[in-house]
Chains A and B, each alone.
Chain A
């Protein structure tokens, strides 16, 4: 079946350090969404990437979609304690009608 691998599973950083999480698929994606879940909270949509090679920025967050549309990354520059949480990628495959298969997520902790 369609699967996505998200790495790393956990990341501990010192405040101010950069952070990157990767999402890799074995098959070509239609598009990919990213969500953030704060501790004790629910997943919240961050962004959607659709085009091959697309790069989008939200303040200190940079999202990339690979040229082959099989992988994506989320990079946070100069992490802050407010970045703590779990980041999920949610690939969308062609032919799906709206249901998402979430990656297992990367749990980010930030030491002040």
Chain B
């Protein structure tokens, strides 16, 4: 069965370190998204991609970067982790089209000390 996975599921790191969160989907979806979820803020879009070699900034992109070298993966990198980036991160994917639903991964809980 097709799925979307994230790794690691939990991560503790220190301020200033570079961290990469992995997202892998086997739906063969063109669109992939990264969100962060914090209490009181709902889901906020960090970066998104409509296909290989395409990346776009979302609402809260500062301090984050992504790259899309193939259809299946969209890793999210925190260049220099900050305590404000402690959050739960969700990856999602969808097919091309305005009305297609998003399928979410299980999430990664990141703590920056």
Interface residues, chain A, with chain B CB atoms under 8 Å away: 30-31, 33, 35, 41-45, 48, 50, 88, 90, 92, 96-105
User: What are 19 inter-chain pairs, A to B, with CB distance below 8 A?
Assistant: A33-B101, A41-B106, A42-B105, A43-B43, A43-B92, A43-B102, A45-B102, A88-B43, A92-B99, A98-B96, A98-B100, A99-B45, A99-B58, A101-B59, A102-B43, A103-B42, A104-B40, A104-B41, A104-B42
> Does the CB pair B90–A99 fall under 8 Å?
no
> Does the CB pair A98–B43 fall under 8 Å?
no
Most chain B CB within 10 A, of A42, A102, A103, is at A42
A contact patch SS: loop
Chain B 1-44, CB within 8 Å of chain A: the 1/0 string? 00000000000000000000000000000010101000011111
> Does the CB pair B50–A42 fall under 8 Å?
no
Tell me the residues in window 78-113 of chain B with beta carbons closer than 8 Å to chain A beta carbons.
90, 92, 94, 96-107
Q: Contacts A42-B105, A43-B90, A50-B99; is A98 near B31 (CB within 8 Å)?
A: yes
A8 to B100, CA, bound (A): 27
The smallest beta-carbon distance between A43 and chain B, in angstroms, is: 5
Q: Contacts A42-B90, A98-B94, A99-B33; is A105 near B99 (CB within 8 Å)?
A: no
Interfacial chain B residues near A33, Cβ < 8 Å: 101-102
The smallest beta-carbon distance between B24 and chain A, in angstroms, is: 15
Interfacial chain B residues near A45, Cβ < 8 Å: 101-103
Q: A45-B102, A103-B42 are in contact. List 6 more A-B contacts (CB 8 A).
A: A41-B106, A43-B104, A44-B104, A92-B99, A99-B31, A104-B41
Q: Contacts A45-B101, A96-B98; is A105 near B107 (CB within 8 Å)?
A: no
Interfacial chain A residues near B107, Cβ < 8 Å: 42
A88 to B96, CA, bound (A): 22
Interfacial chain B residues near A105, Cβ < 8 Å: 42-43
A42 to B37, CA, bound (A): 10
A88 to B43, CA, bound (A): 9
